[in-house]
Structure 1
Amino acid sequence: MDAGNTVVSKKPVPEEMPETKAIWLKALLSLVLYIGIYYFLFQQKIKWILLLVVVMIIHEAGHFIAMKYFKYKDVQLFFVPFLGAFVSGRPGIISQRQRIITLLAGPLPGIITGILLFVIFKYNQQIFYYHLSLMFVLLNIFNLLPVSPLDGGQLIENLSSGTNRIIQPIFLAASGIALFYFALVTHNYFILLIVWLIVTRLRAQIMQNRIYNDLDKSSVPYNKSYEALSDEEYMNIRKCIIRRVPSLKSYDEDEISDDEGPVMEYVQKLLKGTAKNDMTLQYKIVVIAVWIIFTVFPIIMYVLCTPGYHIF
């Protein structure tokens, strides 16, 4: 692939993100839709639907606050029926440590809240606190499972970042198989939606790895932000993308299109930004220890302290 013969055009400027009010309006509308769908399906469970929303908001608030603290850009919150909620954002500097803290900032506060509610239950023996405690703990422990795209799966991916590119696709495939089996065993077929997301992400990951290989062969840099990308580098990356991505093959490789948005978005998604590998082996061991403790300890707590109650 000859990058030197690329016609250099001026790279497009990304559109400005919606104003903060518009972002929060979208979040609010997605929340209303989320509650509405669940209320339509489970009309007798409105109290628990609202409590579930509170649990998710606390979980996502942890991610949101961490992203804001680490100066992520374009931070947005969305609620997706049957899949929960998620916060998205773009980091300015790709710090392994900051990314892991951001991932743990979601489930850990929820698990701690659940443990505190369990203590309240042990004190007053009101079953409401037991059920609410379970809701906090189980939802957040589920998110800590080492299955992508859950927080635990992304945690493992980040701990292994910088290793061979084949590891993440293998991990995604294993996660999909594990969740598919779990869905069949438990007859919880909503989990198949997550499996579908994993398959979609796996296909995208394989596609991206092929593009990265093309860029490496052509010595085209991609470890930088979009703003730092030169016009020539944009065109070279653009050419690799158009050659590899079926949905973008209709674009001319050498000329900027009037409808350049989809290509530009793919370029932005492909760029790795300024990477910062700031995780020592000792720090990784601490993170893994925290992950194991917060995943295992609450379950042991319920089993030992409430033998007469059912966890699942």
Structure 2
Amino acid sequence: MNSLYPPKPFLEKEPIRQGHIAVTVFSILLFALSFLLFFDDQFIFLIEMIAVLVIHEGGHYLFMKLYKYENVRMLFVPLMGAFVHGHKDSYRQRQSLVVVMAGPFPGIIIGIALWLLGMNYQVHWMIETALLLFAVNILNLLPVLPLDGGRMLSILFFEKIELFQVVFSFISSLVLIGIGYFMDWYVIMIFGFLMGFQVRSLHRRYLIHKGLKEDEVNFNSTYDNLSDRSYYFVKNHVLEHTPGLRRFVENMEGEDTKTVVANEVKNMLVPPMEQDITFLMKTVILIAWILAVFGPVYLMWSQNLFNKIYAV
């Protein structure tokens, strides 16, 4: 049956590179310089922020290396944050979940420890670092892609969560923009706008996957294992929902054009994942997620309430 469809373009595999520490260090320096350019009197806060990001992304990095991910790198983005990149041809559900949780969960635990110590001994830098750990990691646990919370729910429930991701991302972007505007937290406001752009991308992905299901096309595959028939259908749906790419294809010819389209097709695929998490484990993980999000909030609220009672 594949003979009825033209062969898919060949894509060269990304060469395996060892994560170079110099690249990470350079990105940290660039992050620090760009921060000090706007906030030159916030050096202590900068050190605390870098430490918080290293703790968070370091968890992802360590477990990606442990589980043999390829091309694992940690990079800092000026005025934005940091991320860890790595990939595999196939995944196990349990390992993927550990990689995701290894970022926010240790950060929350360390934050709680620093908060309790800081409040007990009145150490300002401990309290401030704890607040940063709470803010960064709780924000990352929001059930929105590409945040850790969204990735966690996607790993647990796959395509069932796609429409929810679109709706929740839209609502979350509006809420963050509103909070940032009324409280003069411009970083939160900017993040809300960026999340708004992500909504469009998530909606396009949802529509493409929905169309592929209706055509009974399996998109849970790597590009190498994708049949010519499946490539044909995925490409058509991608072009249908990406007007800019469609115009580019109509006006340009050659192998480079085919490669661009093939990479877009590859980005729409969902790598196969071995299901090895039971219903009980899913329940425990969801409870842990709820505790990680609301536990620090309750801790800060109860501690402040206790201080007020003590002062009275």
Measured in 2, the distance between the counterparts of 1:247 and 1:77 equals 31
The residue type paired with residue 110 of structure 1 is: G
Measured in 2, the distance between the counterparts of 1:146 and 1:240 equals 26
Q: How many residues align?
A: 305
Change (3 A) 1:88 1:197: farther
Higher helix share: 2
Alignment of 1:67-86 (within 5 A): 67-86=64-83
Measured in 2, the distance between the counterparts of 1:122 and 1:128 equals 11
Q: What's the CA shift for 1:215?
A: 2.9
Change (3 A) 1:263 1:84: same
The residue type paired with residue 299 of structure 1 is: V
Q: What's the CA shift for 1:24?
A: 4.6
Q: Does 1:155 pair with 2:152?
A: yes
Measured in 2, the distance between the counterparts of 1:4 and 1:180 equals 51
| Aligned residue in 2 for 1:52 | 49
Change (3 A) 1:68 1:301: same
Secondary structure, in 3 states, of the residue corresponding to 1:163?
Answer: helix
Change (3 A) 1:252 1:234: farther
Q: Does 1:241 pair with 2:238?
A: yes
Secondary structure, in 3 states, of the residue corresponding to 1:79?
Answer: strand
Measured in 2, the distance between the counterparts of 1:89 and 1:291 equals 24
1:132-160 deviation digits (Å, cap 9, x = unpaired): 33332333233224454432343344444
Contact residue 219 and residue 269 of structure 2 kept, 8 A: yes
| Aligned residue in 2 for 1:278 | 276
Change (3 A) 1:35 1:5: same
Change (3 A) 1:235 1:76: farther
Measured in 2, the distance between the counterparts of 1:16 and 1:290 equals 36
Q: What's the CA shift for 1:52?
A: 0.9
Contact residue 169 and residue 206 of structure 1 kept, 8 A: yes
Measured in 2, the distance between the counterparts of 1:256 and 1:234 equals 18
Q: What's the CA shift for 1:100?
A: 2.8
Contact residue 141 and residue 150 of structure 2 kept, 8 A: yes
1:33 to 30, 33, 38: 30
2:133 to 127, 133, 136: 136
Contact residue 179 and residue 191 of structure 1 kept, 8 A: yes
Show structure 1 runs of 5+ residues with no match: none
State the TM-score, normalizing by the size of structure 2: 0.83
State the TM-score, normalizing by the size of structure 1: 0.83
Show structure 2 runs of 5+ residues with no match: none
Contact residue 153 and residue 161 of structure 2 kept, 8 A: no
Q: What's the CA shift for 1:204?
A: 1.7
Contact residue 11 and residue 234 of structure 1 kept, 8 A: no
Measured in 2, the distance between the counterparts of 1:15 and 1:154 equals 24
Deviates more, 1:154-163 or 1:61-70: 154-163
| Aligned residue in 2 for 1:16 | 14
Deviates more, 1:255-264 or 1:60-69: 255-264
Q: What's the CA shift for 1:232?
A: 4.8
Alignment of 1:250-261 (within 5 A): 250-251=248-249, 257-261=255-259
Change (3 A) 1:74 1:269: farther
Measured in 2, the distance between the counterparts of 1:217 and 1:153 equals 25
